[in-house]
Structure 1
Amino acid sequence: MSAEELDALLGDPHDDANPVGHAALLAADERREMPADGERLLDAYGMNAEFVPAGYGGRLTRADRLADVQRTLWRRDPSLGLGHGFSSLLASVNVWTAGTPEQRKQAAAILLSGGRIAAAFHELDHGNDFAHADCSAARTDDGWLLTGRKEIVTNLRRADAMVLFARTSRAAGSRSHSQFLVTRDELPADRIHDLPRFPSSGMRGVQLGGLRFTDCPVPADALLGRPGEGMEIALRSYQLTRSVFPAVIVGPLDSALRLAVGYALDRRLYGGAAADLPYVRAVLARAQADLLAVDAFSAVVLRALHLAPESMGVYAPAAKYLTSRIVLDAFEDLRSVLGAQSYLREGRYAMFQKLARDIAPATFAHVSRAACQVTLLPQLPRLARRSWPAGQAADPSLFDLGGPLPPLDLGHLVPGVPPGDGVLGALAGIAGDTPAGTPAGRFANRLRDELGRLGERCAALSPKDTTIGASPAAFALADRYTVLLAAVAVLGVWHTGGDRHPAALLPGVLDRLCQRLGGPPVLTEAEREEAEQHLFDTAVRRYRESRLFDLSARHVPG
């Protein structure tokens, strides 16, 4: 099965008779329900097999393939994407990382039979701060006793099993929590209590639930890994999901841009189409640039899971942090094109308001943007002193999108200090290969200068500025690092891809990223207008040809 086959099953989104078209999805959202026909379609496709490694009977072999399939689904409906499957990936990846062969077989059997596994990590009192989670598991002679609450957990009532994060020691430090794989039917009904569903403004069809445990017995063999390894397992496992998610959210942005382009071409204003107005053209062009930037950056990070797994402790949080911000900013820009239509819950463009609500949790779901920055801060001084000056470049295959990859091996993912930063290390070589007088050459030189300044400032960070108590200036350095990383990834993709990626689009994409760095513009005003014209023309052409706005530009239904 492929993303193209899933697109064919999903059909034309504008067909009112399509059970997974926009009309049906909006109606289910108004009812705060998961679209039943959509879930049946995904079961027929075998979506859960995408989350199971091939060695256990599934289809998970490449991270970019997993992201492509999920992006296809999220392009149609983020609520369906999260509620039907992605939540099971968030849970099961911990099993593939640290489970015994028996636990992995158990999880695979649940998923391949159409079941669900919930990731019971979250507690309202602590949010993303899992190190202070209070739900506890006390050791007994024959297992463990669970006491406490888990809240805002996707599919908790509908799940056949859960991966549960619980405190197993009162000692301070990173070894105080563990993870457990438990099935619902092995828990005594009188020791667990379902909390009322938590309603939400976005992802309204997703079942957000909670559980209260009272001295609830859990068998000894439910433990994942060893006692106290819960945080380490999560840090390793979520390098996969935090790398996949940035690529997935390109899908909703693609749909939002398609709606905005269609509206701008159809809307009549001042004797012409709204798309004739310079401001509207600029907004659409910049959204196209943002989408391409997120696509290229996330694609490089996905390839790094296979080719540079030792660096994912930096690349995964960097991608999650920056791409969520770019996507949300692009949605707000596109809202200015649609105007009142961006809020209406009925009509041809009503899907925009649903997409905007559904994508809003991207900044904090799974891990917040601030938590990503806190993860990056202690790495920056080390990279500034040891990696960036050495300029050790990643293999060019890292930027060769679609190229061959070794099988995904989660055992190679490690928490802690990455030995290097091959993406930024590639900048010098790319700059040397790019003619200095061209816009791309000028951008490369600008980025090289920015990296030098960033290195000096990061090397001088105080110990306090590498912790949660860091100054705003230190957090700003983490932000600049992610933008530089994305810009070099974009340069690398275009440099390696040759004619596969239109050269005329590169200046506009890099211009958008460099605007986030501040400072004097690299492009002249005339060059920027030309770059945005290319981006606008590309967006309109792809809209009319029913092609995706991402780097693949493949045909889609409707």
Structure 2
Amino acid sequence: MNTGISALERRLGDPWDPANPLGHEAILAADERAEMFADGERALDDHALNAEFVPASLGGRMTGLDRLIRVMRSVFRRDPCLGLGYGASTFIASVNVWAGGSDAQRGRLAELLLGGDQVASVYHELAHGNDFARVDFRALPDGAGNLVLSGRKEVVTNARRCTAMVIFSRTAASGGGRSHTQLLVEKAALPAGRMRYVPRFSSTGMRGVQLGGVEFTDCPVPESVAIGPLGSAMEIALRSFQLTRTGLPAMALGVLDTGLRAALRGSGDRVLYGRPVTAMPHTRAVLAEAFVDLLLSDCLATVVARSVHLLPDQSNAYASAAKYVVSGRAMAAMYRLSQLLGAQFYVRTGPVGIFQKLVRDLAPAGFGHAARVACLATVLPQLPRLARRSWSASDTAPPALFRLDDPLPPLPFAALTVSSARDTLAGALAAVRERLPADAGAELRELAAAFAGELVALRAAVAEVRPHDLAVGGDPAALDLAARYATVLAASACLNVWLANRDHAGFTGDPRWVTAALLRLAADVGRGSGALPDHLVEPLYAELSARYAAAHSFDLSRVDLPG
């Protein structure tokens, strides 16, 4: 699981060391100039990070989505601008080619990426946001074997410095689900004068990332640039979203890791009312709860990442649910940590100065290419079918879904589906009560029973929803069912990861963290406040403090960090 991560962390060095040219001081200086962190990019070049986005079958190092997430978490842990601007933007674009491109296109993109080039995802139009079916950018056939590009895209990462672009385009004047196509276009092949760059919008977060735009005017390209058959854009996007909606928020958990570390530093250096801030129960509770939120988010993200390999016909709904939970939890945890830091939150230099940048950068990293409400809208219409076909103890998930060290088959891009056929992750929640060990404790047993009951209640509520309310334009309150479902999946992931990895020595097998995780999640379905009791806060804070002192990551992997 940690292969290559330790080498990358060593290359980047101790971020808190003022003498480290790849540390926080240098990163903050680049942010003040609204520039990408050039020395960091060179270090990632030396590490050949682009190879992580290329499948092993094409000469790269992409073997598992869960592994890629952990590699990129190291980059986000250091600088979210590097994470998005150098890495994740290429990942978002390239998976469309792996999922739907021809052999020639996949080979050419692998060649570009392994050579150090970048590819940009050219999707968004400000007028339409996440509604890709209404994209106006046109690539209409001219009858002579070309597509003629016309229109503009305003929010493109690395538009100026990419070598190739994946462009979401309208290829039929009429509407309907087959009216759009994705194109793999190399800028060097474009005729002169037909493309211009749109200036960057100023932004509060991700100030160093190049977020400009492009505009094309009657620009011909050969029809061979189409990724898949004409009209296949939505299908390919819905398949590739299963990797990106899972991957990007999970990568960005590195931001919360560093935010927790900064909050511990800031709190440890402060004295109030004659004692250290970290000795106060409220401080310990906030830190422990943020730690639990990171762990439960990592549980769900890791299980969903593994489902892409093991259950490609189920991962569509899981990916959208994971993005909703993980990005929301991370942003809320960072907000509470900012309240804990108080006036220190506004400091832009020194040992805690990185925190304000992390907060600003996390929102766009968590938002990515699809808003959280758009993820719920993807899940909602699938719920009636999943409730009918699954959600029972007899619909079991493969053990490898939860065992973190079990090997995975290659990513099955061709097997990914545009909607989920079944849901064994929810079924695993229905079955877990019977498998709780004797030392689980009464509190955990009650929580497991409560979430099993929530699944039953959710099934009944889904059966009552009018078909009209499952679609865009229906009752917005119906989206609450998708949010409840996402929370149930998170609870199932936490319980089953704990059960499947109890043979691991130390904290992973301790029932207290999973009890705390379910208490935090229970608040999202109207059960309690989510506040942790003292008997859970103290051991969790002790684990957090021990990891901080030993320079271990705060996620499930507990990797060694420099410093």
Contact kept, 8 Å, 1:168 with 1:228, in 2: the verdict is yes
Alignment correspondent of 1:551: 556
1:461 aligned to 2:469? no
CA offsets 1:103-162 (integer angstroms, 9 cap, x no match): 111111111111000011111111111110000011020211011001110001000010
Q: Of residues 186, 190, 193 in structure 2, which corresponds to 1:187?
A: 190
Q: Of residues 272, 275, 292 in structure 1, which corresponds to 2:275?
A: 272
Distance of 2:411 and 2:103 partners within structure 1: 17
Alignment correspondent of 1:244: 247
- Give the secondary structure class of the aligned counterpart of 2:6: helix
Alignment correspondent of 1:511: 519
Q: How does 1:304-453 map to 2 (within 5 A)?
A: 304-389=307-392, 391-416=394-419, 418-434=420-436, 435=438, 438-453=442-457
In structure 2, the CA distance between the partners of 1:182 and 1:451, relative to structure 1 (3 Å rule), is same
Contact kept, 8 Å, 1:283 with 1:334, in 2: the verdict is yes
Deviation at 1:470, TM superposition (A): 2.7
CA offsets 1:31-75 (integer angstroms, 9 cap, x no match): 111111111110110000000111111111111111110011111
Alignment correspondent of 1:535: 540
Alignment correspondent of 1:477: 481
Alignment correspondent of 2:51: 49
* Aligned partner letter, 1:529: D
- Give the secondary structure class of the aligned counterpart of 2:121: strand
* Aligned partner letter, 1:408: L
* Aligned partner letter, 1:519: R
Distance of 1:306 and 1:39 partners within structure 2: 30
Contact kept, 8 Å, 1:381 with 1:460, in 2: the verdict is no
Alignment correspondent of 2:81: 79
Alignment length (residue pairs): 554
Deviation at 1:205, TM superposition (A): 0.4
* Aligned partner letter, 2:193: D
Distance of 1:159 and 1:370 partners within structure 2: 30
Alignment correspondent of 2:37: 35
Distance of 1:42 and 1:510 partners within structure 2: 38
* Aligned partner letter, 1:120: V
Greater mean deviation of Cα atoms: 187-196 or 69-78: 187-196
Contact kept, 8 Å, 1:393 with 1:424, in 2: the verdict is no
Q: How does 1:121-200 map to 2 (within 5 A)?
A: 121-140=123-142, 141-200=144-203
Deviation at 1:499, TM superposition (A): 3.9
Q: Of residues 86, 89, 92 in structure 1, which corresponds to 2:91?
A: 89
- Give the secondary structure class of the aligned counterpart of 1:209: strand
Distance of 1:194 and 1:5 partners within structure 2: 37
Deviation at 1:287, TM superposition (A): 0.4
How high is the sequence identity, in percent, across the aligned residues? 48
CA offsets 1:146-188 (integer angstroms, 9 cap, x no match): 1100111000100001011100112222111001111111112
4+ long deviations beyond 4 Å: none
Greater mean deviation of Cα atoms: 228-237 or 238-247: 238-247
Q: Of residues 459, 468, 493 in structure 2, which corresponds to 1:489?
A: 493
Contact kept, 8 Å, 1:256 with 1:355, in 2: the verdict is yes
Contact kept, 8 Å, 2:84 with 2:365, in 1: the verdict is no
CA offsets 1:399-435 (integer angstroms, 9 cap, x no match): 101211111121111102x221111111232101125
Q: How big is the alpha-carbon RMSD for the aligned residues of Structure 1 and Structure 2?
A: 1.5
Contact kept, 8 Å, 1:179 with 1:229, in 2: the verdict is yes
Distance of 2:556 and 2:511 partners within structure 1: 12
1:12 aligned to 2:17? no
- Give the secondary structure class of the aligned counterpart of 1:337: helix
- Give the secondary structure class of the aligned counterpart of 1:202: coil
CA offsets 1:248-300 (integer angstroms, 9 cap, x no match): 12211000001111222221111010011111111001001101101111110
Deviation at 1:363, TM superposition (A): 4.5
Contact kept, 8 Å, 1:246 with 1:294, in 2: the verdict is no
* Aligned partner letter, 1:394: A
Deviation at 1:471, TM superposition (A): 1.8
Q: Normalising by the residue count of structure 1, what TM-score does the alignment of the two structures yield?
A: 0.97
- Give the secondary structure class of the aligned counterpart of 2:216: strand
Distance of 2:517 and 2:155 partners within structure 1: 37
In structure 2, the CA distance between the partners of 1:188 and 1:358, relative to structure 1 (3 Å rule), is same
Distance of 1:266 and 1:521 partners within structure 2: 30
5+ residue gaps in structure 1?
none
Distance of 1:342 and 1:467 partners within structure 2: 41
Contact kept, 8 Å, 2:245 with 2:322, in 1: the verdict is yes
Deviation at 1:538, TM superposition (A): 1.1
Distance of 2:264 and 2:367 partners within structure 1: 28
Contact kept, 8 Å, 1:547 with 1:555, in 2: the verdict is yes
CA offsets 1:7-39 (integer angstroms, 9 cap, x no match): 000101012221210000000011111111111
Alignment correspondent of 1:224: 227
* Aligned partner letter, 2:370: V
- Give the secondary structure class of the aligned counterpart of 1:157: coil
- Give the secondary structure class of the aligned counterpart of 2:183: strand
- Give the secondary structure class of the aligned counterpart of 2:501: helix
Alignment correspondent of 1:498: 502
Contact kept, 8 Å, 1:138 with 1:145, in 2: the verdict is yes
Contact kept, 8 Å, 2:97 with 2:105, in 1: the verdict is yes
